[in-house]
Amino acid sequence: MIRFEGICKSFGGARAVNDVTLDVARGSLCALVGTSGSGKSTLLRLANRLLEADEGSIRFDGADVTNIPPVELRRRMGYVIQSVGLFPHWTVERNIATVPRLLGWPSARIDQRVAELLDLVGLPPGLHARRYPDELSGGQQQRVGVARALAGEPELLLMDEPFGAVDPPTRRGLQDSLMAIQKRTGTTILLVTHDVEEAIRLGGTLAVLDQGRLLQTGTPAQVLAQPATDAVARFFGGPLLGLNRLKALRVGDRAHAGAPSPGEGEPIDAEATLEAALARMVAEGRSRLPVRRLANGAPGVLDLADLVRP
């Protein structure tokens, strides 16, 4: 969907992005992660030409972005930022309709699209469509922000620390919604985050940046199992890296077939993270948990030893 090739970008002599090559496949979710100043936001803003690259090329759906006028390019990509930036003088409805109106859709189609999107992001249209942004909570505002970004049926959704400003429970709710939305719409998502937990939770591909360089790409499980450099290991928890790895793995990945014996407590879902399994073992003082259904449909068990298996 979008491919960065040998991208460099400097600000007043300082290299913000240094020779980055990255391919984001259609329909995937790629999280650019790294500490602040690692160049991840810069890379994102190069994608929709809010910034222009010094070197290298960016291909969007096969075409070089410099051949697409910025305004047209941006209308084909959704854009969500941490501070949301909803237009305070427009209703929720009008905010979401921004890009469709810019694209000149007929009003019936716009109305239908707005209702559809409010539903998609989990805001009942009857309650929220005519409200103004300052009448919404932070989490609701960000939901509107996501709906607004999706309104023009973009081929790619760019998100710059979209959930950084909301409290942890709300953030988890928004992350769940985002994953559900991607499942339904199949939109490609390129997302920037410095939140390790968020990066692991959203799954997809991680692209770890440090000081402008792309250090490693891969699934969370791959990156956490074999961090390419010390910097990657440090970012994912340093000495606590192992604990974060448990977040990236599911019970089903490690459980083995076996009949649970009585008195081993409630069975755990195969979809649960290993972290959740460990938490239950610690809380209940057991070293073995029954597993509800493995991939083949049979019940299984998870031993403490399974967690530490390489």
Partner 1 sequence: MRIPAGREPAPALRAGTDIDVLPLLISALALAALLLGGFVVVAPNRLLSGSPLSLWQAAGPGGAASLLAILGVIALLAARPALRLQRVLISLAAGALMLLSLALAGMAASEQAVAAGRLTRVSLGAGFWTLFVAGLLLLADGAEREPRRAGKALPLLATLLGLAALIASGRLAHLSLAREYAVRQQAYLDELLRHLQLTGAGLALALVAGGAIGLLAYRRPQRAGPVFAVLNIVQTIPSLALFALLIGPLTVLTGLFPALRQLGIAGIGPFPAILALGLYGLLPVARGVHAGLSAVPPAVVEAARGMGMTGGQIVRHTLIPLALPTLLQTLRLTLVQLIGLAVLAALIGAGGLGTFIFQGLGQTAADLVLLGALSAIALALIADTALRGLALFLLRRPAP
Please state, as a whole number, how many other Cβ atoms lie within 10 Å of the Cβ of residue 82.
18
- Residue (of 277, 272, 299, 273) closest to 288 by Cα position: 277
Find out whether 178 and 171 touch, Cβ atoms under 8 Å: no
Near partner 1 by CB under 8 A: residue from 31, 84, 202, 246: 84
- Cα distance from N-terminal residue to C-terminal residue, the chain: 34
Site for partner 1 in 122-151 (CB under 8 A): 130-132, 134-135, 145, 148-149
Please state, as a whole number, how many other Cβ atoms lie within 10 Å of the Cβ of residue 173.
15
- As measured in angstroms, the least distance from the Cβ of 269 to partner 1 is 39
Question: Which residue type does 52 have?
Answer: E
What CA–CA distance (Å, rounded) separates 58 from 53? 9
268 pairs with which residues across the strands? Answer: 291
Site for partner 1 in 258-297 (CB under 8 A): none
Site for partner 1 in 37-56 (CB under 8 A): 48, 50
Task: State the helix-helix crossing angle for 168-185 and 107-120, rounded to 10 degrees.
Answer: 130
- As measured in angstroms, the least distance from the Cβ of 248 to partner 1 is 31
Task: Select from 31-39, 80-88, 195-203, 256-264 the region that touches partner 1 (CB under 8 A).
Answer: 80-88
Near partner 1 by CB under 8 A: residue from 86, 199, 232, 289: 86
194 in contact with partner 1 (CB under 8 A): no
Near partner 1 by CB under 8 A: residue from 144, 150, 156, 158: 158
Near partner 1 by CB under 8 A: residue from 4, 60, 79, 163: 79
Question: Which residue type does 49 have?
Answer: R
Give residues in contact with partner 1 (CB under 8 A). 48, 50, 70-75, 79, 81, 83-89, 98-99, 102, 130-132, 134-135, 145, 148-149, 158
